[in-house]
Amino acid sequence: MAHAQLRFGHYELDLERRQLYHRGRQVPIEPRAVEMLCHLAEHRDRMVPKQELLDAV
């Protein structure tokens, strides 16, 4: 089964594994930061209110 991924530039965000990659290498990133990126990516079709983002992470 393929993982849900979002690609932008040389980066790839694996939404299921909650990992960020740059040119195929995993980027060390704080858990809260990757959760924020994933939440924004998962709701990229709308503006995410600040409070919702804070509640999600």
**Any idea which residue has 């990126």 for tokens?**
37
Q: pLDDT, tens digit, for every residue of 12-36?
A: 999 999 999 999 999 999 999 999 9
The CA distance from 30 to 50, in Å, is 19
| Residue among 46, 40, 45, 47 at smallest CA distance from 56 | 40
Which pLDDT value is given to residue 20? 97
Which pLDDT value is given to residue 43? 94
Which pLDDT value is given to residue 2? 58
Q: What is the pTM of this model?
A: 0.84
Which pLDDT value is given to residue 36? 95
Which pLDDT value is given to residue 1? 47
Domains of the chain: 5-56 (1.10.10.10)
